[in-house]
Every structure is written in structure tokens, then in C-alpha cells.
């Protein structure tokens, strides 16, 4: 399926390549560079690029492009999902997936790629299985490998879960403190027009888990209002038939961190917008312009909006902006013409405001349109869709024997901005 993988940085250097079936010359990346040159930003590069003899399927993560080369018809989403799984595995092993991190851990990176793909087809992609095969790096083993010249990170035994019907969980797991945490994370993608009306609003949701339970637990998670969920995708551990019939998540979880499900709530449903902007931006011929923006909470059920950041890309004809904020810090980059206002936390009793003058270049016409403001924010203990976990039940021999344990269970809700734009 996948012949080769190229990892490309922002400057266009192919600093890593891996081949499985046959060696594909990296000159194939010229087709990718051609498509990249036509894109206004990295996220706009087409995910599938057709060439005379190959298809290039790529993703952009952590300021890096991961480009897979395939020669036959294959589901593009399958390859895209696998590339994301590679990035997530690197993040799990090295805490981040950056050029410098990958270069520092070349040996482990190539060992992981050898195990994750066999003759071009995905083989071991679960973190639990991989960590039994290839140990994550640590300081002591790095010194030992450097001194001896040998790699001590590869296990000589096959992972216990590899031959079972539950390959995502290893056997014999034991914890002193048993815990199960669930994070319900929702990101709002919205466009708000000049009058404050919603043009489009959608929610991308995820349920991320941290499971530290002994033995082989069998869990069920139910929701108060599961009918809200649309366009769902699950981790392989979830029993899909049970979800289809009862709208209950039934699963034997992997050990540690994993994403149990993701969902999408489309514009067919009414999405509550938790933040609003009052703005007055205008330009005057020959005298610059005026900028005045106030930000406030809206439909947050009394929850505090935190980590608020506004980004305003001004036109190239703007020479400078002189702004005064009642709260937070603001900066203006004269090269990119980007004004950033780090508001922080919003106090409903005293709404943050920023205002000041815009200086235009002399002898140029005033800009035809006002800038579109990008808003970032976070609201803790709040799910904007109204989704709520009803209960979590645990089954299995660990919970029925005389030595059964009582694990600690926790659910956390987080709402944050995805691509949230306000037109002015």
C-alpha cells in the first residue's frame, strides 16, 4: 500500500525518508513542492496529489509535512489516518513531534516505522504493543547505547497483546492506584458576520481517556443525551453494534492514554456561541483610521472564559497601530501586519476593551475591507453542545472477586475555539 514516507520541514528540506517496498527517489517530492507553492498557507496544500505513476498523500502537523507515496488505488482517508497515528506515536514516545526531536531519536523513529508498517501495510499501531516491542527512550539507556554502540531498546519477546483478540491491551496489567479519567473536549468552528449573527457554527468533539486499571476491565459509558452526537468515529476497542442499538459505549480499554471517540455536531443543530465581540473599525482618507474592540461572554452558563487571544491581520497598507488595552498585553508585528491581543480571563463585570489609532502609508488608497478577527479561548467544566456523561460502569473479574478494587473515576469538560472568526 504505502511504498515510501518523506518528512519535510517548513523550509522544504526532506530530512527523513523511509522506504518499505521499493526505493522511490525523493525527486517525487517536486510534485508536492509545486502544489505547496500554490497554497497560501501550509494547511491549504491538497491532501492528495496525483502524479503520472504515484499518488502523494500528505498531512501537516507540528510544522512538518508527512508525505506518503502510494502506487495503487487506496482509500486516502486510510492513509491520512495512518499518518496521524505515526505522529501521535512519536508524540507519545518523545513528548513532541518536531524536526529536532526526530533527528535526536533517528534510531527509535526507524525502529517504530519498521514495526508499524509491514511491506507497506499497517501492522502494530497501538501504543501499548509498540512500547513492549520498542522501549521509549530514557537518559540512562541513551548513555548505555552510546558507550556500547548497541541498541538496547528492542525487546526480544513478542508483545502479549499481539496474539490475542484484544491487541490494544497487554495482559497482566497491575496498578496500586486504579484510575479512569475522561476528557470531553469540544472545539467550535464558527464564522460570525459584522452584525453579530452566526453564518455557520459547528462542533468538533473528542473524548480522550487516561485509563490505569488492573487486569482486563470491561467498561460501559452512557450519556444523558447521546442523540446529540453525529458523524462519530471510534477507537477499535469500542463495540459498534452496542452503540448502534443502545447508544452506549462498551469497550475493553487500552492501557494509558488514547482517544476513544470523535464526533461532529453540524450546522443542522443550534450551536451556542459562548463569546461575542463589539467592534468599530474604520479607515479615513489621508488620516489613518480607528480601532475599537470589546470582548464579552455569551451563553456560557456562568462559566469563566479563559486564555482569550485575538489576532487581527491588518492590510499591507497599514504602517502601524497604536492601541491601548484595559486588560492583557497586545503587540503588532510591522512585517506580517498581525496584531495580537492576549486578553487572558474575561470578567463579566468589567469587559476587556482595546482601542487606538491606525496609521496608513501615505499616498495609498484606504483598504477596501476591514480585517477578519480570529478568536481563541478556553472554557473549563463546560461542554458547549450540552453533552453530558450519565454514568460509567465497570465489569470483569477484577470487580466481582473478593479482592475487587474501587477505582477513582473522573470526567472533565473543556470547550475551546477551533477556527473561530469574526468578520468586521
DSSP single-letter state for residue 380: E
- Report the alpha-carbon distance of residue 252 to residue 169 in Å, rounded: 8
**Strand, coil or helix: what is 284?**
strand
Q: What is the pLDDT of residue 162?
A: 55
Domain assignment present for residue 171? The answer is no
Pairing of strands 318-325, 275-284: unpaired
Q: What is the pLDDT of residue 86?
A: 92
Asked which of 101, 133, 165 is the last residue of a domain, the reply is 133
What spatial distance separates the first Cα and last Cα of the chain, rounded to whole Å?
47
Q: Taking residues 313-338, report their average pLDDT.
A: 91
Q: What is the pLDDT of residue 121?
A: 84
Counting every residue, how long is the chain? 424
**Strands, E assignment, 158-287:** 179-192, 198-212, 218-223, 230-234, 248-251, 256-265, 275-284
Pairing of strands 275-284, 288-297: antiparallel
Are 382 and 413 in contact by the 8 Å Cβ rule? The answer is: yes
366 has pLDDT over 50: yes
| Number of structural domains found in the chain | 3
Q: Taking residues 3-14, report their average pLDDT.
A: 91
117 has pLDDT over 80: yes
Q: Taking residues 308-329, report their average pLDDT.
A: 92
Instruction: Judge if 362 and 248 occupy the same domain.
Output: no
Rg (the chain; Cα; Å) = 25
pLDDT tens digits along 380-402: 999 999 899 999 888 875 555 54
Q: Taking residues 252-265, report their average pLDDT.
A: 90
186 has pLDDT over 90: yes
- Report the alpha-carbon distance of residue 42 to residue 135 in Å, rounded: 33
Domain assignment present for residue 37? The answer is yes
Closest CA to 229 of 201, 266, 198: 266
Q: What is the pLDDT of residue 147?
A: 65
**Strand, coil or helix: what is 117?**
strand
- The values of phi and psi at residue 44, to 5°, are -90, 0
Instruction: Judge if 17 and 124 occupy the same domain.
Output: yes
Q: What is the pLDDT of residue 325?
A: 93
Q: What is the mean pLDDT of the chain?
A: 87
Instruction: Judge if 357 and 408 occupy the same domain.
Output: no
Q: What is the CATH number of the domain that holds 225?
A: 2.60.40.1170
CA-CA-CA-CA torsion for 68, 70, 74, 76, nearest 10 degrees?
A: 30
- Report the alpha-carbon distance of residue 255 to residue 267 in Å, rounded: 35
Q: Taking residues 255-274, report their average pLDDT.
A: 86
Q: Which domain holds residue 357?
A: 275-380
Domain assignment present for residue 151? The answer is no
Instruction: Judge if 262 and 303 occupy the same domain.
Output: no
Instruction: Judge if 16 and 118 occupy the same domain.
Output: yes
10 has pLDDT over 90: no
Instruction: Judge if 13 and 92 occupy the same domain.
Output: yes
What lies within 8 Å, CB to CB, of 104 at 6+ separation is: 94
Instruction: Judge if 77 and 194 occupy the same domain.
Output: no
Q: What is the pLDDT of residue 127?
A: 77
Domain assignment present for residue 222? The answer is yes
Point out the least confidently predicted range of 134-143, 178-187, 213-222, 313-322. 134-143
Q: What is the pLDDT of residue 60?
A: 93
**Strand, coil or helix: what is 48?**
strand
Are 95 and 88 in contact by the 8 Å Cβ rule? The answer is: no
Domain assignment present for residue 359? The answer is yes
Are 255 and 217 in contact by the 8 Å Cβ rule? The answer is: no
Instruction: Judge if 193 and 82 occupy the same domain.
Output: no
Instruction: Judge if 183 and 289 occupy the same domain.
Output: no
Point out the least confidently predicted range of 77-81, 168-172, 253-257, 322-326. 168-172
What lies within 8 Å, CB to CB, of 231 at 6+ separation is: 263, 264, 266
Instruction: Judge if 266 and 410 occupy the same domain.
Output: yes
Q: What is the CATH number of the domain that holds 113?
A: 3.30.450.60
Asked which of 133, 168, 200 is the last residue of a domain, the reply is 133
49 has pLDDT over 70: yes
Instruction: Judge if 235 and 353 occupy the same domain.
Output: no
Which three three-digit cell numbers place residue 395?
A: 465489569
**Strand, coil or helix: what is 381?**
coil
The CA-atom distances, in angstroms, between 52 and each of 18, 30, 57, 321 are 21, 13, 14, 50
142 has pLDDT over 80: no
Cα 344 to chain centroid, rounded: 22
Q: Taking residues 200-218, report their average pLDDT.
A: 91
Q: What is the pLDDT of residue 301?
A: 85
Instruction: Judge if 233 and 315 occupy the same domain.
Output: no
251 has pLDDT over 90: yes
Q: Higher model confidence: residue 407 or residue 203?
A: 203
pLDDT tens digits along 26-41: 899 999 999 999 888 8
Amino acid at each position: 500500500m504505502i511504498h515510501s514516507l518523506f518528512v519535510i520541514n517548513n523550509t522544504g528540506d526532506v530530512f527523513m525518508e523511509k522506504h518499505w517496498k521499493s526505493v522511490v527517489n525523493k525527486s517525487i517530492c517536486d510534485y508536492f513542492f509545486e502544489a505547496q507553492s500554490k497554497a497560501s498557507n501550509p494547511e491549504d496544500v491538497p491532501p492528495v496529489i496525483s502524479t503520472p505513476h504515484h499518488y502523494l498523500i500528505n498531512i501537516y502537523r507540528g510544522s512538518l509535512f508527512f508525505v506518503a507515496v502510494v502506487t495503487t488505488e487506496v482509500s486516502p482517508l486510510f492513509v491520512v489516518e495512518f499518518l496521524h497515528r505515526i505522529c501521535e506515536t512519536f508524540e507519545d514516545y518523545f513528548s513532541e513531534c518536531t524536526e529536532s526531536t526526530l533527528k535526536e531519536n533517528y534510531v527509535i523513529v526507524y525502529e517504530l516505522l519498521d514495526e508499524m508498517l509491514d511491506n507497506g501495510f499497517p501492522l502494530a499501531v497501538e501504543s501499548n504493543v509498540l512500547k513492549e516491542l520498542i522501549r521509549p527512550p530514557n537518559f540512562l539507556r541513551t548513555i548505555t547505547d552510546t558507550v556500547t554502540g548497541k541498541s538496547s531498546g528492542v525487546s526480544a519477546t513478542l508483545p502479549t497483546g499481539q496474539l490475542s483478540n484484544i491487541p490494544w491491551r497487554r495482559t497482566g496489567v497491575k496498578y496500586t492506584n486504579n484510575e479512569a479519567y475522561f476528557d470531553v473536549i469540544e472545539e467550535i468552528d464558527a464564522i460570525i458576520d459584522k452584525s453579530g449573527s452566526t453564518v455557520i457554527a459547528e462542533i468538533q468533539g473528542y473524548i480522550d481517556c487516561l485509563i490505569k486499571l488492573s487486569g482486563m476491565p470491561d467498561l460501559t459509558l452512557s450519556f444523558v443525551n447521546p442523540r446529540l452526537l453525529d458523524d462519530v468515529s471510534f477507537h477499535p476497542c469500542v463495540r459498534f453494534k452496542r452503540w448502534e442499538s443502545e447508544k452506549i459505549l462498551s469497550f475493553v480499554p487500552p492501557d494509558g492514554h488514547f482517544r476513544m471517540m470523535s464526533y461532529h455536531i453540524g450546522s443542522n443543530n443550534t450551536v451556542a456561541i459562548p463569546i461575542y465581540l463589539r467592534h468599530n473599525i474604520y479607515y479615513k482618507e489621508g488620516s489613518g483610521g480607528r480601532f475599537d474592540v470589546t470582548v464579552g461572554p455569551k451563553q456560557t452558563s456562568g462559566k469563566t472564559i479563559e486564555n482569550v487571544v485575538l489576532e487581527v491581520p491588518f492590510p499591507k497598507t497599514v504602517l502601524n497601530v497604536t492601541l491601548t488595552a484595559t486588560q492583557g498585553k497586545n503587540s503588532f508585528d510591522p512585517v506580517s501586519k498581525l496584531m495580537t491581543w492576549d486578553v487572558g480571563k474575561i470578567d463579566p463585570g468589567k469587559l476587556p476593551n482595546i482601542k487606538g489609532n491606525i496609521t496608513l502609508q501615505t499616498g495609498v488608497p484606504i483598504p477596501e475591507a476591514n480585517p477578519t478577527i480570529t478568536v481563541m479561548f478556553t472554557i473549563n467544566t463546560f461542554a458547549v453542545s450540552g453533552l453530558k456523561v450519565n454514568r460509567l460502569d465497570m465489569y470483569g473479574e477484577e470487580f466481582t472477586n473478593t479482592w475487587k478494587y474501587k477505582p477513582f473515576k473522573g470526567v472533565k469538560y473543556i470547550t475551546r475555539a477551533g477556527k473561530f472568526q469574526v468578520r468586521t
